[in-house]
């Protein structure tokens, strides 16, 4: 592990309608980021997994690949009718998908970035989340695989000239997920068919070990799955989603969380303590723990170990997102999307909450590679107004905010967390931290201190009062008049004033009648 002094600098990619630019990351000089790469026209951008390459889609037919060490373009590709593209984890290969003019045309091409040559081609009919990228790589690019009809084809990640090396027959397979670090196993999903339940199976990637699956889990009422491998390729989390909830508790269907291990020690449901959907799940960087946000609102958040034993309860609240710090120390629990944007920051090792704040209307959110900063972004086209970038310290205090007329993308340049040292300074935990707006200039320092004391005190939340219709507000006074009771204590100021006027008018009329 490198020391903080030798740690690599942070960089942020920002894409607006006019193009993308790259900022130097925090800490900022004079509170504002400096620009490392000036704005460059583009339609879309994507970093490789290790952050060594940057893919820039310039137009419907042009792609540029940049070396992130100096942000210089190293290769330019011309592909007509381009639909989408993706980089391999180390940026060695570029994979493109274009619309085919004839059924015989191979419309998926794998390019070698260094030489610009095409090394493999295939035909793919549709473009979906489960089928793209067509060729999946492990993080070290040693293993590559591809989903084909009723089988999975495996390649040598360093040589595609001979085609696939061997194939694994899995009848009915519709989705695969290759483990990343290392690429030792592959998970295959087979949906329900003719009364046979859906299933997820784990196979070893080595040809001599593929005679049978090392783990298998079947489930009824399954429409789709999300597959999450841990670092180390020893455990697989499977979020099983059904379009219909037969209990009629949710309009959006139902979901379950299953856990499978490659050694076969666990194949079953994760023991959750609240009914409801699975909102989010994430492994820690070490792969030894995973965090789950689940249940009907207010949702519950729990951290489990690799044996599905609960380690820490993060409480309940309006949450649907969890982000684990790359260093494994801090956790951000948040409620984005259709939720108000509450965020709670936790120190996992100390098992205590560091602070709370809000980031309303956030679309994307992620920790910095060094684990010190948490960035949220409100982006188009999801939201067309109030586009902005916010950065928070690991304890939830606001560090930086910038507004945009329109913002399409904001993300950290990937770096290996092992290249950074531990967080140097830890701020003492507080009950809650709120991002406060600047006070008016005329406000005194004393009033500021008093308001800070009041805001930091945990005041009990007042329950909303029951609704009372307008005609019921003076019900006590009316009742007192009907029964001849004294109502001076229950009458409002206006009612008392009107009552005195009426009494004076009666006395005046009585005096006039006496004089006559």
**DSSP letter string, 183-216:** --EEEEEE--BTTBPEEEEEEESSGGG-SS-SEE
Q: What's the CA dihedral at 171, 172, 174, 179 to 10 degrees?
A: -30
Residue 292 CA to residue 276 CA, distance in Å, equals 12
Q: Are 452 and 445 in contact (CB under 8 A)?
A: no
pTM: 0.77
Contact 326, 285 (CB under 8 A): yes
What are the start-end ranges of the H helices in 83-174? none
Nearest residue to 224 via CA among 291, 320, 130: 130
DSSP letter for 34, please. Answer: P
CB 368 within 8 A of CB 10: yes
Q: What's the confidence (pLDDT) of residue 182?
A: 87
In 3D space, the residue among 99, 100, 105, 74 whose CA is nearest the CA of residue 87 turns out to be: 74
Specify the pLDDT at position 456: 39
For residues 294 and 303, give the distance between their C-alpha atoms in angstroms, rounded to a whole number: 11
Using CA atoms in the order 286, 290, 291, 294, what is the torsion angle rounded to 10 degrees?
160
- Dist. CA 46–CA 52, nearest whole Å: 11
Helix (H, G, I), strand (E, B) or coil at 472: helix
Residues 101/93, Cβ–Cβ less than 8 Å:
no
- 225 membership: H or E segment, kind and range: strand 224-229
Residue 89's CB: how many other CB atoms inside 10 A?
Answer: 22
Strand order across the beta sheet in which 135-137 lies: 135-137, 143-148, 151-156, 166-169
Q: Is-contact 425 27, C-beta < 8 A?
A: no
In the chain, DSSP finds a helix count (H) and a strand count (E) of 3, 36
- pLDDT of the residue at 443: 42
Q: Which residues of the chain have pLDDT under 70?
A: 1-6, 245-252, 423-492, 515-516
Whole-angstrom distance, CA of residue 53 vs CA of residue 13: 13
Instruction: Compute the distance between CA of residue 53 and CA of residue 76 in angstroms, rounded to an integer.
Output: 13
Cβ neighbours around 458 below 10 Å, total: 7
- The number of CA neighbours under 13 Å toward the Cβ of 399 is 17
Strands, sheet with 93-98, edge to edge from the N-terminal-most edge strand: 82-87, 93-98, 108-112, 117-122
Contact 317, 297 (CB under 8 A): no
């Amino acid at each position: 592990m490198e020391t903080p002094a030798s740690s690599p600098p942070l960089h942020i990619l920002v894409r607006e309608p006019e193009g993308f630019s790259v900022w130097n990351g925090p800490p900022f000089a004079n509170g504002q980021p400096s620009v490392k790469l000036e704005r460059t026209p583009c339609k879309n951008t994507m970093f490789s997994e290790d952050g060594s390459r940057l893919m820039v889609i310039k137009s419907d037919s042009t792609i540029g690949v940049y070396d992130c060490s100096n942000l210089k373009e190293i290769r330019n590709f011309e592909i007509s009718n381009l639909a989408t593209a993706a980089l391999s984890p180390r940026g060695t290969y570029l994979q493109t998908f274009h619309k085919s003019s004839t059924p015989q045309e191979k419309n998926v091409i794998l390019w070698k970035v260094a030489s610009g040559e095409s090394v493999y081609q295939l035909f793919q009919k549709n473009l979906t989340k489960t089928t793209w990228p067509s060729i999946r790589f492990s993080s070290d690019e040693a293993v590559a695989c591809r989903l084909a009809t009723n089988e999975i084809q495996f390649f040598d990640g360093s040589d595609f000239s001979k085609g696939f090396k061997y194939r694994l027959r899995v009848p009915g397979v519709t989705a695969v997920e290759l483990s990343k670090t290392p690429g030792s196993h592959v998970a295959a999903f087979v949906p329900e068919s003719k009364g046979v339940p859906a299933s997820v199976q784990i196979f070893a990637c080595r040809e001599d070990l593929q005679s049978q699956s090392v783990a298998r889990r079947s489930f009824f009422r399954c429409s789709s799955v999300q597959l999450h491998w841990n670092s180390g390729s020893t455990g697989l989390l499977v979020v099983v989603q059904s379009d219909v909830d037969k209990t009629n508790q949710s309009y959006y269907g139902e979901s379950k969380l299953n856990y499978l291990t490659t050694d076969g020690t666990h194949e079953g449901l994760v023991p959750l303590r609240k009914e409801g959907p699975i909102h989010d799940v994430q492994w820690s960087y070490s792969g030894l723990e995973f965090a789950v946000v689940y249940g009907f609102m207010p949702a519950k958040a729990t951290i489990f170990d690799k044996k599905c034993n609960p380690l820490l309860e993060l409480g309940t609240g309006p949450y649907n997102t969890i982000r684990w710090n790359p260093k494994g120390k801090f956790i951000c629990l948040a409620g984005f999307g259709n939720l108000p944007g509450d965020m709670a920051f936790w120190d996992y090792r100390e098992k205590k909450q560091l602070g709370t704040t809000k980031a309303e209307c956030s679309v994307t959110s992620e920790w910095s590679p060094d684990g010190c900063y948490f960035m949220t972004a409100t982006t188009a086209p999801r939201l067309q107004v109030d586009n902005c970038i916010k950065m928070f310290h690991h304890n939830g205090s606001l560090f930086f905010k910038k507004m945009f007329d329109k913002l399409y993308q904001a993300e950290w340049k990937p770096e290996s967390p092992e290249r950074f040292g531990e967080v140097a300074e830890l701020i003492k935990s507080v009950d809650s931290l709120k991002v406060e707006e600047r006070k008016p200039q005329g406000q005194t320092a004393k009033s500021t201190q008093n308001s800070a004391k009041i805001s930091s005190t945990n005041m009990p939340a007042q329950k909303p009062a029951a609704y009372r219709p307008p005609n019921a507000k003076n019900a006590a006074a009316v009742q007192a008049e009907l029964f001849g009771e004294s109502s001076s204590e229950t009458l409002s100021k206006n009612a008392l004033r009107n009552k005195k006027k009426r009494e004076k008018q009666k006395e005046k009329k009585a005096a006039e009648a006496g004089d006559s």
